[in-house]
Amino acid sequence: MPNRLDEIRERYDLEVASHRPPETENDLPLSYEEISDEWLTRIVCGDVEGARVVGHRLGDADDGTSTRRRIFLDYNEAGMQAALPRSVFCKSSFRLANRYSVGFCGGVEAEVEFYNRVEPQLDIETPKPVWAKVNPDTYNSFIMLHDLDPETEFCTLESKLTEEHWRGQLSLLASIHGRFWKSEDRDAILGGLQTWPQYFDKVIELGFEQLCAKGFDAAKAVIPADVVALEDKVWPATIAAIDRQRSLPHTLIHADVHLRNWYITPTGHMGINDWQCATRGHWGRDLAYTLSTAMPIEVRREQGEAFTRHYLDQLSRNGGPDVSYEEALEHIRHELLPALAWWTVTMYPGDDLPDMQPMDHTLEMIKRITAAISDYRSLS
């Protein structure tokens, strides 16, 4: 794996050495600071005759697996009359650490592909794209999105979610799963996305097994004793779940549906963002991951069956298969293990990868997922 990281670093260094500030819509920036009014005019104003960006201001930096900032825009009279966006939300993989974490595995390409090709085919609450581009040779990328309403609430552990919100999450996921379930246009629209097993195979090359093991060990204080006692089974069960996915029917999955990737609109509807793991996979991944992370453990224990049945009903109504509760349980049992892996690695991402989430959130996600692994007897 070090050779692969060295290759990414070499390509990054070459890109930096030969880089020029962006001028056209075919150019990618390498920093927010070099973005000009002229380039923003080309990207944002599009075909609006006479419209120009005449000034802009950068919002606060927010760095993680991607580098995120808002850009606040000022226009000339033509731009104002056209009601062009006064702010846009941007994500990039400018930093080398971003390219290690979401470049090598295909995450930057997945999100650009989602916004350019897939999102226009969906009728869900998710940020709408202005422009998205990736350099597949260097993994540099830039995604510009229409900003959300200032009253939008991004979910955290402190968010006061209700049964209506949790049902809303599952309904949204069922709609995207059903939309591409054996649809005639599935291959044409989703063909640019990897399968979920292909994505996972790449993260394994990053030393994923060892990082997950270190994360599991560091989080044992919040993991049920019966799961700790079966620690030796965790990674084999994770790989078995991924291998099982290879032969299951695929649709569009989000694949990283943890709590902080959801938001609540001012009208109370649930929305989802961060499509870096968008892949072709089985819906069981998203269902198990959502049930185990979206709600407190006691809520899932009391209402998990009702929520699962709600999801299955919505899946069928949106063009997906008719699935029994018992079959869904089998998928959930398997898919909880790869969901856990996404969080034990977050606990210990390694020296070359960026910190991904606040520690309290990471520990709570591990606590919730491992409680579900215990309750559903996923390792038995």
Task: Point out which residues pair with 271 in neighbouring strands.
Answer: 263
Distance, in Å, from the CA atom of 358 to the CA atom of 342, rounded to the nearest integer, reads: 14
**304 contact partners, CB below 8 Å, separation of at least 6:** 291
Residues 40, 297: Cα–Cα separation, whole Å = 46
In this predicted structure, what is the pLDDT of residue 47?
A: 85
Query: Residue 243 and residue 99: Cα distance in Å, rounded?
Result: 26
Q: Rounded CA gap, 308 and 335, in Å?
A: 14
Residue 357 is predicted with a pLDDT of 78
pLDDT at 104: 80
pLDDT surpassing 70 at residue 237 = yes
Task: Please tell me the distance from the alpha carbon of residue 355 to that of residue 351, in angstroms, as a whole number.
Answer: 9
d(CA 112, CA 28) in angstroms, rounded, equals 13
Work out the pLDDT band at 129, boundaries 50, 70, 90: very high
φ, ψ at 86 (rounded to 5°) = -80, -15
Total Cβ atoms within 10 A of residue 20: 8
Pairing label, strands 67-75, 153-154: unpaired
Quickly state the pLDDT bin for 116 (edges 50, 70, 90): very high
> What's the average model confidence in pLDDT over 98-107?
85
How far CA 128 is from CA of 27, 94, 168, 186, in Å, comes to: 21, 21, 19, 21
Residue whose C-alpha is closest to residue 186's, from 113, 117, 251 = 251
Nearest Cα to 179, choosing from 189, 169, 166?
Answer: 189
Q: What three-state secondary structure class fits 196? A: helix
CB 333 within 8 A of CB 292: no
Q: What are phi and psi of 119, to 5 degrees?
A: -55, -40
Share of the chain above pLDDT 90, in %: 87
Which pLDDT belongs to residue 63? 78
pLDDT tens readout for residues 198-210: 999 999 987 889 9
pLDDT of residue 46: 86
List, by residue range, all CATH 3.90.1200 domains of the chain. 153-375
87-92 and 270-272 strand pairing: unpaired
Architecture of domain 153-375: Alpha-Beta Complex (3.90)
DSSP string for residues in 310-333: HHHHHHHHTT-----HHHHHHHHH
Question: CATH assignment of 12-146?
Answer: 3.30.200
Residue 238: both structure tokens together = 């994770």
- Apex CA 79: angle with CA 75 and CA 83, to 5°? 110
Which letter, b or e, does each residue of 39-63 get, where b requires 16 or more Cβ atoms within 10 Å of its Cβ? bbbbbbbeebeebbbeebeebeeee
Q: 178: which 2 tokens?
A: 């059903």
CATH 3.30.200 location in the chain: 12-146
Q: In Å, what is the CA distance from 34 to each residue of 20, 38, 69, 269?
A: 9, 11, 13, 36
Strands 87-92 and 67-75, by their bridges, are antiparallel
What is the mean predicted confidence (pLDDT) over 163-175?
Answer: 99
- Give residue-wise pLDDT tens across range 14-46: 999 999 999 999 999 999 999 999 999 999 998
pLDDT value for 355: 60
Work out the pLDDT band at 277, boundaries 50, 70, 90: very high
